[in-house]
Structure 1
Amino acid sequence: MRGRGFPPGRRGARPRSRSPLHVGARRVRVRRRLSKRCGFRVRVGLDATWAAAEGTGTASYTRGLIRALAGHANHEFVLYFRPGDEERNPLFQLDRANVTKRCVGGWGQIGRTWLSLSRETRRDRLDIFHSPSYFLPVCKAPRVATFHDVNMFLQWNKWWRPGMRAGWASLAIQTVAASRLANRIVADSHHAATQIRRVLHLRDSEVDVVYPGVNDLYFEESRDATAVDRYALHEYFLSVGVLSPQKNLEGLVRAFAALDRPKTHLVIVGRRDGPYFDQTVGPLIDELHVTSRVRVLGVVPDLILRRLYRSALALVFPSFAEGFGLPPLEAMACGTPVVAACAGSLPEVVADAGLLIDPNDIRDLAEAMSAVADDKSLAGTLSERGRMRARLFRWSTSARRMFDVYESFA
């Protein structure tokens, strides 16, 4: 790629030249002033297919970011969908004068991205193409890719399992390819940015940090029916996220089983990630004799999820690794106390607004859950801190920061 060399650290590799697209901080400030006077306008292509992946953080990210970006009427957006997204992708209903929609098919993820999408983006004469999740086409326009983490490399043993290996290989290959195609990588957190630079051998200037936001729905004060009314739950801990090994569901179930709270339930919300949950977590629930107190709800609509957050004793999020972690912020926006792992980006996101625990220490996790459930003063303090913390993460801010990234080289 023009302006790029080989990753540092390879014997005999030529040094990377300074990209002609790079601009210094002073020049960015000058261009911001000019854009306000002259009307900076950019035509951005975005791969909106990720918004259809119901029950994933990637879908929440794609929906929140594109809706916030499209609210800036002085810019144009071309959204690329798959055939069939008319029914299953909520972004297809985005009706704005500055938004154009394209349906692009293709054989498999790689075939669609590198062949069909590459051809379509060249025809649309974009100023920038932005992928909200790793995969980048080959196009003439400057390219931006959001990398949520590099756990496919750092946590490879949790991906290398029956039913997931082909997906892991595709993601790993396209992540490396996108890191070389992109003019800029966007990370969700400073922790994720550090790992991305180290694993993929990128320079500091090649990775920017733009925090995701929280859906405004979770801040709204409304008279929701409680989870008690809908699911006949009286008191419960809540777990939200894809049901995958890195979420540490086994540790959560063991900690829950260790509690002396026979009337308390554990509610698990999220989509299954291959056969892992049914083959590993389900049998563990039976083995620990807590089957009658564990409710697995699968994917639920946002309005119902808000009800579940607001009625819970706490959101428990003991992941081994996270590039960001939206559920803790959603829970905090609802005023729900959070118990989260002191791992990955979670300390950066949660800060002092939640209880941070060692995800490998079952006793530590169980004690934190008990403390939040039994100490009303502590729960109240965490609720108030959580609301204040969540207000710092809004999609409107994320969109403005993303435009700064675009403007720095568009």
Structure 2
Amino acid sequence: MISKGYIDDTKYSFKMLAPRNIKMTPEFKNIPLKVVGHLKGIFWEQLELPFFSRDGLLINFCNSAPLVKTNSIVTIHDASVYGVSSAYSKKFQLWYKFLLPILGRRVKKVITDSSFSKNEIVHYCAIPSNKIDVVYLGRDHICNIKPDNKILDKYKLGKKTFLLAVSSMNPNKNFHSIAKAIKLLKHENYKFVVAGESNSTIFNTYEEAFAADVIKLGFVTDCELKALYENASCFIYPSFYEGFGLPPVEAMACGCPVIVSDRASLPEVCGDAALYCNPYDVNDIALKMKQLLDDQVLQESLRKQGLKRAETYNWESCAKKVFSHITEVCSGENCHCS
């Protein structure tokens, strides 16, 4: 939330509001955390948050915000609840399909992660296009992490001897096709590593069918993830639907060649720095995996192009653009930031 104060010669100050059941306390140098209210979840967000943010502009970064709080900016990362609704539980679908169209029309500004997402939000939610702005995400976080190479020793993974797939087990991420492609590939010179865990409260039940020799890591820490990115021969991400696609950008930032889906926002985000596959064609996924694994020259070319592409995504640029929208909204006639 923003109220009057001083930051970068502009008259604003920031504070973070959180419910009492907060699981992790973030540490920021310049933004104080204030725990407020007695409720939790949607009830805290919709009933108590508007009251405690009544004197300022409320900024929401996670697809949701109080419907009664019109003096706010909300980030809607994508329209996947419409585009791939079968990937989500019925309860989750109903709430967000009710929330997003109303929310988008009531708030001062909507921010999203890609031009693809902007077009999808306009299409599904009927939010005016001129109310939505694209702000790309950053990759700096992965660059600033120290890799934990112990995970390589634990699973006997040598440098450039394995293919990596990383994501939640949301069916939209298409892990099932990766499993089938691995079986078709039968590549004896490489191991196959899969990291990620499911969330049954959001995603529909999904059982992966990987071969017994595929190494399934489940949850990994950020430090372990960076070690995997840095040492994998390639990263595979044949998702059906993405609003941005942060994992491929993280992989590119770590010098890992990537294979991604040719759908949704991924061509926009990855540009010419990725090898593209048809996510609905298991044979094509397997073919692209073989093509990349067998071609060292292609691997090195994509590694260099990926590093260059990833440099265009940084959190400072993201923050500056978000802040420009804050000042724009607060300078409006009907906005009250204090």
Letter in 2 for 1:297: L
- One-letter code aligned to 1:304: E
2:105 is aligned to 180
Q: What is the CA–CA distance in structure 1 between the aligned matches of 2:38 and 2:288, rounded to whole Å? A: 48
Number of residue pairs the alignment of both structures matches: 323
| TM alignment of 1:8-407, pairs within 5 A | 39-42=9-12, 76-85=13-22, 88-89=23-24, 92-106=25-39, 108-109=41-42, 111-122=43-54, 125-126=55-56, 128-138=57-67, 142-159=71-88, 164-218=89-143, 225=149, 227-234=151-158, 235-274=161-200, 280-282=206-208, 284-285=209-210, 290-291=211-212, 293-407=213-327
Shift of 1:174: 2.0
Q: 2:20, 2:35 within 8 Å by CA — same for their partners in 1?
A: no
Look up the match of 2:336: none
TM-score when scaled to structure 1? 0.73
Q: Which amino acid counterpart does residue 153 of structure 1 have in structure 2?
A: Y
Q: CA deviation at 1:139?
A: 5.8
Q: Is the 8 A contact 1:129 1:143 kept in 2?
A: yes
Q: 1:339 to 1:134 in 2, by over 3 A?
A: same
Question: How far does residue 148 in structure 1 lie from its aligned partner after superposition?
Answer: 0.9
Q: Tell me, in whole angstroms, the C-alpha distance in 2 between the residues paired with 1:78 and 1:104.
A: 15
The Cα of 1:101 is off from its aligned counterpart by 2.3
Q: AA paired with 1:173?
A: F
**Is contact 2:147-2:225 (8 Å) kept?**
no
Q: Secondary structure at the match of 2:272?
A: helix
Any idea what SS the aligned residue of 1:409 has? helix
**Distance in 2 between residues matched to 1:238 and 1:232, nearest whole Å:** 14
Report the equivalent of 1:29: none
Deviation at 1:219, TM superposition (A): 6.0
Distance 2:189 2:14 in 1: 51
Unpaired stretches in structure 1, ≥5 consecutive residues = 1-34, 43-75
1:223 offset after TM fit, Å? Answer: 7.2
CA distance in 2, matches of 1:200, 1:402: 22
Deviation at 1:215, TM superposition (A): 3.1
For the residues of structure 2 that align with 1:324 and 1:296, how far apart are their CA atoms?
25
How far residue 140 of structure 1 moved from its aligned partner, in angstroms, is 5.8
Distance 1:84 1:172, change over 3 A: same
Contact 1:121-1:139 at 8 Å conserved across structures: no
Q: Which residue of 2 aligns with 1:5?
A: none
Decide whether aligned partners of structure 1 residues 219 and 377 sit closer, same or farther in structure 2, where only a CA change above 3 A counts. Answer: farther
3-state DSSP of counterpart to 1:238: strand
TM-score of the aligned structures, taking structure 2 as reference length? 0.88
Q: 1:40 to 1:279 in 2, by over 3 A?
A: closer
Displacement of 1:336 after TM fit?
Answer: 0.1
Contact map agreement 2:170 2:204 (CA 8 A) in 1:
no
Shift of 1:94: 1.3
* Cα-Cα RMSD: 2.4
| CA distance in 2 between partners of 1:140 and 1:166 (Å) | 23
Secondary structure at the residue paired with 1:149? coil
In structure 1, what is the equivalent of residue 335 of structure 2?
Answer: none
CA distances 1:299-347 after superposition (whole Å, capped 9, x unpaired): 2111110001111111100000000010000000000000000011000
Separation (CA, whole Å) in 1 of partners of 2:289 and 2:133? 35
Distance 2:157 2:177 in 1: 23
> Which whole-Å CA distance do the structure 1 matches of 2:162 and 2:319 have between them?
35
Q: 1:340 to 1:302 in 2, by over 3 A?
A: same
What SS is found at the alignment partner of 1:408?
Answer: helix
